[in-house]
Each structure stands twice: as structure tokens, then as C-alpha cells.
A = this chain, B = another copy of it.
Amino acid sequence: MSYFDKTKIEELPSRYRANLINSISGYKSCNLIGTRSSNGIANLAIFNSIIHIGSSPAMLGFVLRPLTVRRDTFDNIRETGKFTVNQVTSVMVEQSHQTSAKYGQEVSEFEAVGLTEQYIEPFEVPYVAESALKMGCRYKNHYHIEENGCLLVIGSIEHIYFPEGVQDPDGFVHLEKLNTVAGMGIDGYALPKYLGRLSYARPESNPVLLKHGS
């Protein structure tokens, strides 16, 4: 059994600690956030911290590292109030990962990594054409996490696009049919295989498999 206590965690080399701690919370979502500066330069950045916040109203959130270095994504979101969220699929993992390189502020990561800006009326912020599921979002708020200076950014979901034929009748979207990937640690990627859905849990009965994997 590997065991790390608080002291051992604190004394680890920082890169090792970052890989370990980033791994153990479990699988992560894997999305590209698209923005546009007020002078028209497109920006694209990979995030593995996008989470569901609520359905009514429809909102998501993501964690941004401390603002001690340039954060084009956040600056652009504050300027325009808008961003897109684009799922990373298995055919675009390398290009998506490459958006994490520190390009200059005047460089569009779309061009640099070879992904395609897509504008869909009425949204003037770019989606990623190659992405199978994309959302247009509006900035709502952000929360400063005092413990380490990170921000939790909250956005409302105002536009959703994905191909026909990937939903269950009750609204559930089969991400595996879109080849959406999951994140592992800082730099790992995985392709999930669907196992099934389980019925609403009640104390008096055991869960029933609603729909098997294919």
C-alpha cells in the first residue's frame, strides 16, 4: 500500500506532488474554452476543471489558476462577458493539449494548433468547429478561493449544439457516442466506455440498470 500523510505530501518535489494530487480526485472533464479579446483576437485554452453547477438555471463553472500571470481567457471573458465551451474528442487531443503552451497575447491558439474558429449567430465568440458538443456561455460571477488564490468562474449556458441521435429520450447525452475524452492528472487522456445508467435510488429497493452499455 502506498501511503502519503500531510507531512510527506508537503515534502514531495513540487512536480511529483502536482502529478499525484491532480490524479487522485478522479477523472475530469476535458473542454476547450474559446474567447475573443475586445480587439478581435481569438483565444483557445484547454480546461479540465469544468463542472456542472446547476440545471435551473443552466450553469457551469471552472477553476482558474491565480491571476499572478497573464490569463487571456479570464481577461477576455471579463471584456466581452462571453465564452464557448467545446468538448475535446479523441481525434483532437494533441491539438487541444497544445493550446496550453504559452503563446503571445496576439497569437490565436486556433491558428497555432490547427483548430478551426467557427462563428454561429448570434454569438460573436468562436466555437471550435472540430468539437462535437459545444456551448455558448455568458459570464455570471466569480468566487475567489482564499485558500490558494484560485477563482471559480460561473457561467450560464445559453446555446447548446451537438449531433442528432446521441440522446436518450429523457435528455441524457451519450458522451461515448461523441468520442468525448476524459482528463487524468495534468497531462493524461482517457476514452471512457459506457457501462450503463442506474435507476433513481430508493431506500426500499436496489438500483436497476436502465440501459446497458453497447
CB atoms of B93 and A4 under 8 A apart? no
Chain B positions within 8 Å of A56 at CB level? 10, 14, 17-18, 148
Residues A54 and B148 in contact in the complex (CB < 8 Å), given A27-B30, A175-B23: yes
Chain B positions within 8 Å of A146 at CB level? 141
A156-177 toward B: CB 8 Å interface, digit per residue (1/0)? 1111111110111011111110
Contact of A195 among B1, B107, B166, B181 (CB under 8 A): B181
Chain B positions within 8 Å of A103 at CB level? 203
Cα A17 to Cα B14 in complex, Å, equals: 42
Cα A24 to Cα B39 in complex, Å, equals: 30
CB of A129 within 8 A of chain B?
no
Chain B positions within 8 Å of A152 at CB level? 143, 145, 152
CB of A194 within 8 A of chain B?
yes
- Which among A166, A199, A200 has the highest number of chain B CB atoms within 10 Å? A200
CB of A182 within 8 A of chain B?
yes
Chain B positions within 8 Å of A27 at CB level? 27-30, 175, 180, 182, 192
Chain A binding site: helix, strand, loop or mixed by DSSP?
mixed
Chain B positions within 8 Å of A12 at CB level? 171
Cα A10 to Cα B158 in complex, Å, equals: 10
CB atoms of B20 and A201 under 8 A apart? no
28 A-B interface contacts by CB (under 8 A): A1-B164, A2-B167, A3-B159, A10-B56, A20-B160, A21-B55, A23-B171, A23-B172, A24-B162, A25-B50, A26-B28, A26-B182, A27-B180, A28-B29, A57-B148, A59-B148, A61-B145, A90-B195, A93-B195, A97-B207, A102-B203, A145-B154, A172-B186, A172-B187, A182-B192, A185-B197, A187-B198, A188-B197
Inter-chain pairs besides A20-B172, A21-B54, A187-B197, 16 sampled, C-beta below 8 Å: A2-B167, A5-B159, A19-B168, A20-B171, A21-B55, A22-B55, A24-B160, A25-B85, A26-B29, A26-B50, A26-B87, A26-B180, A90-B195, A98-B207, A172-B185, A184-B192
